[in-house]
Structure formats: C-alpha cells, structure tokens
Structure 1
Amino acid sequence: MSQLSSPTNQPIQGAVYMLGAGITFAVTNLLTPYITYTLGVPSTAVVFWQYVIATVFALPLILRIGFGALKTRHPIAHELRAFLSALGVQFFAFGFASGVPVWQMVALSMTGPFFIIAGAVLVLGEKVTPQRLLATLVGFIGAVLVAGVGTESFSWASILPIIAAALWGTVSVMTKWLAREEAPESLTLYMLVLITPNHFLIGLILGVIVTAFPGVLPGSLANGFDFMPPGGDALWFIVLLGLVTAGAQYFLSLSYKVADATFLQPFDDLKLPINTILAWIVLSQVPSLLFWPGALLIMGASLFILRQETGRSKTGSLQTA
C-alpha cells in the first residue's frame, strides 16, 4: 500500500507503529514459506486467499475512508497500479515457495528505492545526480552480494524478490504521479479495493498460459491457479496470514497518518534485521557471510538516498506487500 507524508507530526508514535508494521510483516514472511514451501500449497493460491481474508479484515478501514474517495480522473492508472502491486506480491511469494531464504528475500526486496530513482527520472522527469547514481550502484553491489551471484549458493530464484522490488518501485513512481491530483485517501482506498480482484485476474492469466503453453512455467506455477481454498492446517495458517497482513497494513496506515515518510524510513529499514533474526530463530535460516556486507550496502545506500531526497520534496512514497 502506498502512503504519502502525514500532515501531522507525532514521530515517537509513528516510529512505534512502523516497528509494529515491521514485526507483523515479518510474521507474514515466516508464515508464507511455511505454507508454500513446507506444506506445499501453491503460492498463487496462498496469496489470493491471503488478500481475500485481509480485505475482509480491512473493511472497517475501507468504510472509514468512504467510497466517495473513489472519484478519480485516472481509473486506468489506479487499476494498473493495483495490478503491478499484486504481481509484485505474486513474485515475492513464489520466491518463498521456491526455497529462497527469508533474509535473502527481504534484503533483495529493499532494492526498491533504486528502481524508484530510475522510474522518477524516466517518467517524472527528475534529474539524475551523481549522488543518486552512486547510491544506486552501491545498492546493487549489495544486492549482488546478498544474492550470492557467482557462488554455489546462487539460484535464479534469487532474482524473484528483485523483480518484485522493481514492480513495487514502479507502483511508487505511479503513486507519486497520481499524488499530483489525487488525495492520499483515494490512493489508499483504490489499492485496498482493487488488490484482491487483481490477484484473481493474475490467476486467470496464469491459467491461460498453463493451458496454452504446458510445461513452460517453473515449479508450482506449472500447475496453474487453484481457486479452491486448501484444507486442513494450511487453511488455518492462511486465515492467520490474512489476519496478520491486515494488521500490518493497519500499522502502516497509522504510522504514515501521524509522522512523515522521510522520518519513518529508517524504522522501516529495521525490517531487515527483524526478519533475519526471526527467520534464524524460527526457521533456522542462517544468513551467508556475504549477506552482512551486502545488507549494510543496501541499507546504507537507501538511507543515503533518503537524506538526499529530504528537502527536495516534502512528499514521499513507500510501499509494501
């Protein structure tokens, strides 16, 4: 969900809410690989039902914003923004289903700001500065280290969170473009309302591809999209996943409501150590030696970009799955 800077300023409360969002999103990143990789439920089905359930739990937020906020001059842009966001979630979940560890998934997903820079230059006409170029280069060097490119631990599935980050970066650029005319409430409501139907749409497209080109897609994607909810323990874990996802979005919305996005970004970056520590404890996923310098480069470049952007514009945009 994309958010803009808050008109109010309660930094301590905003930081607490952002930490709450980071912890709840970390729980989703523990549940998703367990449901997909361990229990064997296709990631497409998990994501679809996750967001169906999350939307149900988010109904109070939707009703509080009010459907009057859906009035817009850019319905196609809102739909495309929701579709790309949903597609990013699908790639991210497929990464978990393919066995990519949590620490690698989260670190590589943090390359999003570097794609935002590229999109802002190409689409919004923003200037390329040496500082931006340097930060982007440093960030991608960090991503190469985290992905383990050139080592035995590297797999092509490691590219999936980077694809997700690129899609979410595109969503953020579209959000900045729409924010020139659209209210923050409209941007939030359209994402809440459209995200689940777009997961359904992606499932339909996947089914057509599997039917027309059998054996082309890898892993569980080769089985197409199962619209039936799974049974047994998997169902209850997905219900829990949907509930936690809704809770994370609530925390995120509250944080941006009371504090500026530029202030909150360092607290959002804490999701990397939070996810790494929890995955280490719960899933016994020990990060590689290259993870640590790579993660520091990604986080350092991200924070450097934040400092450069602060003062250029009072409006920022962030997104999460």
Structure 2
Amino acid sequence: MKQNQSLLSKYIVIFFVVSGYWIISISTVFVNKTLLSDLDLDAPIFINLSQTLITALICYGKKSLSKLFPSKFSFPDIDIWDKQIIKSVLPVSIMFTLMIASNNLCLKYVSVAFYYIGRSLTTIFNVLFTYMILGEKTSKKCMICCLVITVGFWMGVDQEHFSGSLSVAGTLFGIMGSLSLSLYSIWTKKVLPKVNGEVWALSYANNVYASIIFVPMMIFNRELPVIVQYPYLQETFFWGILLGGGICGFLIGFFTSLQIKYTSALTHNISGTAKACAQTVLATYWYQETKSIMWWFSNLIILIASGAYARIKQIDMERKHRQGPFSKV
C-alpha cells in the first residue's frame, strides 16, 4: 500500500512539474508576442533586458536570503566580478544574449504559429557544433532525422511564402536563434564545471552579464526614444505584463531543471516537442489563423523527426554506457 502511495505521489509531482513547464513556456511566448505586436512596443532588446534583469534580481535576492537565513536558503558562493569567472562565463553570456535577442526578434516578425518552425533547426546546429567543438560524432540514424527536420523546415517556409505571410527577417532571426541556442548549450556544458556545476551560479552570472551587454545593444538599436515616447509607459498593466514576462523567463529555467530532475533529458525533449505542437495549435486558434494541410504536414514532419532524434540519441547513450569506458569504439 505504501509503495503504491509513493508511486502515486511521484506521478502527481511529475504531472505538476510537466504542466508547469508547459504553462510557463507557452505563456512566455504569448506575453512577448503581446508586448511586441499587440501593444506595439518596437523595443525587443528592452524586453530582453527587462527579463534578464528580473532574473538577475531574483538570483541576487536568493543569495541575500541565504546570508540572512542560511538554515532555510542556500546559494552557491560565487563572485561574479572575479576576473576568472568573467573570463569563463562571458562566452556563454554572449551566446545567451544572442539567443534570447534572436528569439524575440524572430517573434516580432513572425506569428506564434510559425515560431516553432522558424526555430526548428536547433537540432541540426547541435549536431554540427558538437562535432566541430567537442569532437563528438553522430550516428547515421540521427543524421537522417536531421535531414528530415531540414525538409520539414523548408516545407514550412515554402508554405508561408505561398500564403504570402513569410517574413524573411523573422525566418533569418529564427535560424540565428537556433544557431545561438545550440552554441549556448554546448558552451554551458563546457563552462558548468568551472562554477562547480552550480546552475544557480551560472544563471546569476549569465543574466548579470547579459543585462550589461543589452544596454549598449538597446542604445545602438535606437530603442531609447521609442521607450520614452511609448504611450503605455505609465500604465500599470504594461509594467504588469513586462514583469510577468520577466518572471516567466526565470521560471522557464527553473521548471526545465525540475522536469529533467524528476523525469529525464529524453522526457524533457519529448515534452518540449509536444509543448511546441500544443503551442502551435493554440496560436492558430487564438489568432484565428487558417493554415493549409501542407503547412500542418511540415509541422508534423519536424515534430516526428525531432522526437525520433531524441529517442535514437537515448538508445545510443545507453549502448555506450553498457559498453563502458574501456570498450572499443
């Protein structure tokens, strides 16, 4: 009886963690799209800055609480202004900055429904850069999945062009977002050991450095006059949405870690793929968009190929683990 109750409790926790990830992730996309399009705030870098700043403040708050109440709160001991820490983490922060900036710029020019297709090349860039930077080869089956994802991407782009709603700028920013995300993931893997594997420490340093980088980017993009002249600048609902977007940005990382902790990396990938499908369907309903059968087919191709890639990678990793470090390659 106790074993059944324990198993039930575990499944309940997993359900709430996965549900939380879905809700937060989808909400973040819709909140950013509302700011960029519905509220017509032509300042995507400013939105990025607000999100990294809020995350940095949350991390700083937790760090302060750990000093005041060490028995209840904990935070890794890190000096983000240490030269060695800056030297180690800054490359990750630059990739992180490019990633979230590209994501918002992509979202500015494309619909939420097309957003998943626009950023679907992350897997391909992961395979490419993992080989170039880490020297890790990918199996032929995974390469076939990558080829199918590429076909699905081009089909989606072609259907957007056929319907007259293709944004070249948005698509290019989507590709840039996929590229920077893959580099960010690889660099994170390399840099984490330098902060003793502490995700909180890396997140804190990352968001502080990114906030600093975003300031000149915002000025260079001529967003200051846009912000000053923005008609809703003094409205409470605007700052509420902006704050909500920042908190969502922080919670995505939190729920991602929880989802991997209570399930597995494979389940996280499958959950993310399924979430993207739900997000696409919800977006077409919310914005009352009508898409062709071929457009939906391109989404299906990407979803199936991405899921297959994740499954094949898991099987490959399990096989290597069984063979052990002294087995022949």
TM-score (norm. length: structure 2): 0.77
More helix by share: 2
- Pairing 1:176–2:185 present: no
Q: 1:204 aligns with which of 216, 220, 223?
A: 216
Correspondent of 1:263 among 252, 264, 267:
267
Indicate the residue corresponding to 1:245 in structure 2. 249
Q: Does 1:43 align with 2:44?
A: yes
Between Structure 1 and Structure 2, whose CA radius of gyration is higher?
2
- Unpaired runs of 5+ residues, structure 1, are 1-9, 211-220, 316-321
Change (3 A) 1:143 1:25: same
| Greater RCO structure (CA 8 Å; 6+ sep) | 1
Which amino acid is 2:234 matched to? Answer: G
Q: Percent identity?
A: 14
Aligned mates of 1:268, 1:223 — CA distance in 2: 32
Q: For the Cα contact (< 8 Å) 1:87–1:164, is it kept in 2?
A: yes
- Shift of the 183–313 alpha-carbon distance from structure 1 to 2, 3 Å rule, reads farther
The code of the aligned residue for 1:129 comes to S
Name 1:68's counterpart in structure 2.
Answer: 77
Give how far 1:82 is off: 1.9
Give me the CA root mean square deviation.
Answer: 3.1
Please state how far the C-alpha of 1:165 moved relative to its aligned partner.
1.3
Aligned match of 1:105:
115
In the other structure, the counterpart of 1:216 is: none
Cα offset for 1:95?
Answer: 1.8
CA contact (8 A) 2:45 2:217 kept: no
1:28 counterpart residue number = 28
Aligned residues: 292
- Whether the aligned pair in 2 keeps the contact of 1:23 and 1:274 (CA below 8 Å) is no
Contact 1:116–1:169 (8 Å) recurs in 2: yes
Does the 8 Å CA contact 2:88/2:194 hold for their aligned counterparts? no
Identify unmatched segments of 5+ residues in structure 2.
1-9, 67-72, 321-329
Cα drift, residue 139 of structure 1: 0.7
**Alignment partner, residue 127 of structure 2:** 117
Shift of 1:179: 5.0
Contact 1:83 1:195 in 2 (8 A): no
- TM-aligned CA deviation for residue 160 of structure 1: 1.4
Q: 1:150 to 1:240 in 2, by over 3 A?
A: closer
Instruction: Say which SS state the counterpart of residue 317 (structure 2) adopts.
Output: coil
Aligned match for 2:171, one of 158, 166, 191:
158
Deviation string 1:185-218 (CA, Å, 9 cap, x unpaired) is 2x442123322431431331453xx4xxxxxxxx
> Contact conserved, 1:51 with 1:195, CA < 8 A, in 2?
yes
Q: Are the counterparts in 2 of residues 70 and 190 from structure 1 also a CA contact under 8 Å?
A: no
1:18–1:255 contact (8 Å) kept in structure 2: yes
